Amino acid sequence: MSLSTENCIDGAVKLSEVEAEMLSTDLQDWIVTDAYLERTFRFKNFHETMGFVNAVAWMSNQQNHHPDLDVSYSRCRVRWSTHSANGITRNDFICAARSDALTLKANS
């Protein structure tokens, strides 16, 4: 099963460094730190950037798991973390994969 087809669960627990490293092989261009799963997406213009931001907002609301977003004209930095678990959980990887899928749909 692909991460992008999974759904977030309540009560997710913080992943170990090894678990996070194993899951990170399913993603490209994401940086894994102790506290965040992070990626900067780049776009042609503000309209495309805001389209992505709105799509991430809709998806994250559906998953009841919300990122930190840093938005500018042609980029959006997305940082996933599970604050209740004090670190990265499987939910963060699921939402990162779903974020990637949003850009694949936009570019097809």
What's the average model confidence in pLDDT over 3-12? 95
Q: What is the reported pTM?
A: 0.92
Residue 6 included in any domain: no
In a domain, 17, yes or no: yes
Average pLDDT taken over every residue of the chain: 93
1 in a structural domain: no
Give the count of domains, the chain. 1
Instruction: Tell me if 3 is assigned to some domain.
Output: no
Judged against a pLDDT cut of 80, whether residue 108 lies above it is answered with no
Whether residue 85 lies inside any domain: the answer is: yes
How far is the CA of 61 from the CAs of 19, 56, 64, 65, 74, in angstroms?
A: 25, 8, 5, 6, 23
CATH number of the domain within which 91 lies = 3.30.1360.20
Residue 80 lies in a domain: yes
* 92 in a structural domain: yes
Domain range for residue 99? 11-106
- Whether residue 8 is predicted with pLDDT greater than 60 in this model: the reply is yes
Beta carbons within 8 Å of 88's beta carbon, 6+ residues apart: 14, 15, 20, 32, 34, 35, 36, 37, 80, 81, 82
Q: How confident is the model at residue 1 (pLDDT cuts 50, 70, 90)?
A: low
Residue 2 belongs to a domain:
no
